[in-house]
Structure 1
């Protein structure tokens, strides 16, 4: 292979996928419709949140892959991880289908696992930890981008308001959509930072554990996400977790009530 062919191949490996552009177009169109009051606000919020959630999942996995690339794993490009194409990831079901279903059913930003990093190519414990931390950091950045405008009042528009049970609320439907999607980002970041096998939080601390400890924990890795999901169905744990999520939202200056309203409007099929 010539140098020019090698450069072209690398360029194609990192070219943003049309699938991701479609997701961004859906997100932008839904956001415009909600902001201007065009069509059904509730269905618009549903499309905005689902497309925005999938976009953030793509960015989450891209962050893992990009950090791995700089850490020494040059195989991530050939695997398509740098194209932001959700169909290129190793576990599309775990990484995209199930998280979307969890959002629809319970309004929880449950993380998934997708990119396969060839860890033997990466030298140094710090690099391994940074690769795992990159994904949750993206979720926190997305949360900031969504919640800071709410707290600053940039989304307030008295001409477009939420109608609820025949009443007009002095709340912008776009602010409610931003609030709910921001809640999902925070919940995903917090859950992913748990030091549970199979989640990024464990990936951060794993390089610092002894080989004996890692081997003892390894068989439980496939069940970590399931265990977290089961715990969240317990009322006390669920209440404690969402109290923490709401507290983080308030740090960004956003009113947690907006996320609750956004979640209610998101589930347009219930009422």
Structure 2
């Protein structure tokens, strides 16, 4: 009778233990950040690339972890057994889409967009508000990460950093700002629609459901239109200006990030 609780407890600890994959991503971000801060000029461009990629992957893990935590708190106990609480991106519903697709968006357009999501068993969650909170949790994680990246500029801590490190920091912050704002758009397939969906009539939800797999791609295509792109990024830089991130820092960070371009 006393053996079962011990086994459950051990399994629970394993399902919540931080994954070595996540720790490796965090270590890559720390190492590349240190290289930039220490000013190794011969490796600057690749260090910026590694810092931004690892930081972006880390934010994707935190985004999905926030969804998983909110779902667990709202009644979906299957989250723990699926390994979502380990922060391991390879545990996602589609690891390829969760990792590769967002990186493609970053490389092609410097835009932070989410990838594949954790599988939430919605039938286990009761109440429309809880459903909305589960969808909102991911973008809110991006908001927190964005603020954390921009605070050093607001507080003047970044003034003494190496210039390239500031550029990389600003570009990573821009990705978080775009990820939060774009993902909160009420477009099927994005979290913004997930917040709104529980409050829509059943007939409307059924009509919009077929468009969900294409929502994220459609947003990226629209943002790739030059006029829309300029308008969008002007607004993003305005948001970053609220935190005293200098104009152009994120752009120069994106330029350094694309180390294969000279």
- Normalised to the residue count of structure 2, the TM-score between the two structures is 0.96
Listed as ranges, the matches of 1:37-186 within 5 Å are 37-38=39-40, 39-157=42-160, 160=162, 172-186=163-177
**2:109 and 2:224 in contact (8 A); partners too:** no
How far off is 1:157 after superposition? 2.7
Equivalence for 1:13: 15
Equivalence for 1:215: 206
**2:83 and 2:91 in contact (8 A); partners too:** yes
How far off is 1:73 after superposition? 0.3
How far off is 1:152 after superposition? 2.4
Aligned length: 259
The separation in 2 between residues aligned to 1:53 and 1:14, in whole angstroms, is: 22
Equivalence for 1:36: 38
Extract structure 1 runs of 4+ deviating beyond 4 A. none
How far off is 1:156 after superposition? 2.4
Structure number with the higher helix fraction is: 2
Equivalence for 2:186: 195
Q: Structure 1 residue 205 and structure 2 residue 208: aligned?
A: no
String of CA shifts for 1:7-63, please: whole Å, max 9, x gaps: 111111111000001001100000000001125111111100000000000000000
In structure 2, list runs of 5 or more residues that go unmatched.
none
How far off is 1:153 after superposition? 2.4
Equivalence for 1:233: 224
The separation in 2 between residues aligned to 1:199 and 1:212, in whole angstroms, is: 19
**1:150 and 1:178 in contact (8 A); partners too:** no
How far off is 1:256 after superposition? 3.1
In structure 1, list runs of 5 or more residues that go unmatched.
161-171
